[in-house]
Amino acid sequence: MSSGDIKIGLIGSGQICRVGHGPAIAADGRARVVAICDPDVENRTRFAKQFNVPGIYTDHREMLARETLDAVVVASPPWLHAGHVADVAAAGLPLLCEKPMATTPEDCRRIVDIAGTAGIYIQMCHNKRFEYGFQRVKELLAAQSIGRVFLVSIDWHCYVPDYDHGWMKTGLSLIKKIGVNPEKTYGAWRIKDDRAGGGIFFDDGPHYIDLLRFFFGELEAISCEIRQCLPNRVADDLAAATLTFKNGTVAVLQRSLIAMGYPFGTERGFMYGEKGKIKFDVPPPHKQKRVKVGLYKLPNFFIGNYLPAVLPYGRTKTGYFRQMRYFIDHLTGQHTLPHKFEGPWAAKPEDAFAAIAWTLAGYRSAREGIKVSLPVSTTTDQAKGTA
C-alpha cells in the first residue's frame, strides 16, 4: 500500500485534532487528511496550514458530497455527534467518533442504532484503551500477575482558576490583546458552554468508566459526590465516584479542576491485588508522552521500589497514535498492533453508551444522595439522569 492511500476527512478541527488526530494520521503514514470541516475560521485555517489540507469547508454535508473519502473522524462538540454520525453513515463511510459519545441518552441510542442498521464500522474514541501503558495493564491483569484485584484508586486533577474575576481576568485580557486566546486553544467550552452535557465529570468520567469496564467487566453500582466549586463554570468542577464491579473490584475515581499545583496537574492510579499492585502515571495528553506503569510484588519488598512494566518510549506509543493505527488497520485489513489479551480492543458504540449511562447514573447518585445499582442499561429510559 502506498503512503497516504487512505483519504480521511475531519468534522471539526479544534485542539483535539491539532494535538491528537492530525499528528496521529500523519505519523501512521498509510493515510492523509484531504478535507476538513469547521465553522470556525481560525480552527480550520490553522489546521489546514499545519497539515497541508487541500479541502476546507464550513459545512460537513458539502464536504461529504464533494470529496472522495475513505473514512471520517467526527471531532465536533458532543451535542453535534449524533447528527454528524448519521450524515457520515448515510454517505456509507466508516468513522471514528470522539467522546463523550453524545450529551443525551436519546442521541447515544441513535448512534448505537445507526451502527446496527447502516452496516458501517463505527469506532468510538476511548483512546485510553490504546495507551501502551494501559495495554500492559490489561495484559498483566489477563495474566493474573497480581491476582484478584480488590481496589483501584485514581486521582486526576489539574488547576483551572476562576479567570473571569480579579487579576486573572485582567491578565487574560492583556494576553488576548496580543492575539493569544488560551480559552479557545485549550477548549474552555467544556466548562463554559451549557450544551456540553455537564461539567468535568461528564467530560472525563467516561474515560475511566470505559477503561475500567475494559479491565474488569460490567459495573454493578456507582455512588458519587459532585460539586461546582468556582463560579466561572456552568457545571461541576469536582467529582468523587465509587464504582463497584460485578467481579467484586471497587474503584475510587477523583477528578477535579480545583487542585492547585503544577499547571498540567496529576493523573495517576493504583491497583491493589492479592499478589501485588500496579501503579500508573499518565502525562498530560497534549505532551504525547507514554504512560508509565510499575509492578510491585513480593520480591519488591527487598528492593523497595516498583519494577517498570513499560519500556518502549516515543509518542507513537501513546493513545491517540495507536488508536488511529487500529482504526486504519481496520480500513486496510492489517493487524499492526499485537497484544496479549482476548476479546475486542476498540470501544464499540454500545461501550460508549454504557460509559455515558453510568456517568449519568453518577449524577443521579449525587443529586439524590443514593447509591445507583443495576439495572443501569443502555436504553433511553434507564439511562436518564441529566447532569
Q: What is the pLDDT, as a whole number, of residue 2?
A: 52
Note the pLDDT tens digit of each residue in 179-238.
777 777 777 777 888 899 999 999 999 999 999 999 999 999 999 999 999 988 999 999
pLDDT, residue 224, reads 98
Least confident of 26-40, 235-249, 308-322, 350-364: 308-322
Determine which of 16-20, 67-71, 85-89 has the lowest per-residue pLDDT on average.
16-20
pLDDT of 367 > 90? The answer is: yes
Residue 1 pLDDT grade (very low, low, confident, very high; cuts 50, 70, 90): very low
Distance of alpha carbon 233 from alpha carbon 229, whole angstroms:
9
Measured over the CA atoms of residue 378, residue 379, residue 381 and residue 384, the dihedral's sign is: positive
The pLDDT tens digits for 311-352 are: 766 777 889 999 999 999 999 999 999 999 999 999 999 999
Q: Would you give the distance in Å from CA 2 to the centre of its chain?
A: 30
Going by the DSSP 8-state scheme, the letter that residue 77 receives in this structure is -
* Distance of alpha carbon 151 from alpha carbon 253, whole angstroms: 11
- Which pLDDT belongs to residue 166? 85
Least Cα distance to 34 among 84, 72, 87 occurs for: 72
Residue 167, pLDDT score: 83
CA–CA separation, 51 and 38 (whole Å)? 15
275: CB partners within 8 A, 6+ apart: 144, 145, 146, 147, 297, 298
pLDDT (0 to 100) of residue 381:
53
Q: Look at the chain and count its residues.
A: 387
The single-letter code of the amino acid at 187 is G
In this predicted model, what pLDDT tens digit does every residue of 292-317 receive, in sequence order? 999 999 888 888 889 888 876 677 78
Intra-chain end-to-end CA distance of the chain, in Å? 46
* Residue 362 φ/ψ, nearest 5 degrees: -65, -40
**How far is it, in rounded angstroms, from Cα 161 to Cα 115?**
40
Percentage of residues in the chain with pLDDT exceeding 90?
A: 75
Q: To 10 degrees, the CA torsion angle through 254, 293, 209, 128?
A: 120
Order of strands across the sheet that contains 307-308: 307-308, 292-296, 276-281, 266-273, 149-157, 250-256, 238-245, 219-227, 372-373
Cell 477535579, located at residue: 256
Side chain identity, residue 17 = C
Angle at the Cα of 285 from the Cα atoms of 284 and 289, rounded to 5 degrees? 80
Q: Which residue has the higher pLDDT, 23 or 374?
A: 23
Locate cell 465529570: which residue?
Answer: 201
Q: Tell me, what's the pLDDT at 384?
A: 59
Which pLDDT band holds residue 54 (cuts at 50, 70, 90)?
very high
DSSP assignment string, 274-320:
TTEEEEEE---GGG--PPEEEEE-TTHHHHTSPEES----SGGGSHH
Of the pLDDT bands very low, low, confident and very high (cuts 50, 70, 90), residue 379 is low
CB hemisphere CA count around 21 (13 angstroms): 28
How many CB atoms sit inside 10 A of residue 87's CB? 17
Query: What distance in Å separates the CA atoms of residue 105 and residue 192, rounded to the nearest whole number?
Result: 22
| Interval 113-129 mean pLDDT | 96
Full set of structural domains in the chain with CATH:
6-128 (3.40.50.720), 132-312+348-373 (3.30.360.10)
Mean pLDDT of 359-372: 97
Provide the CA 316 distance to its chain's centre, in angstroms: 17
Confidence of residue 378 (pLDDT cuts 50, 70, 90): low
The mean predicted confidence, pLDDT, of the chain is 92
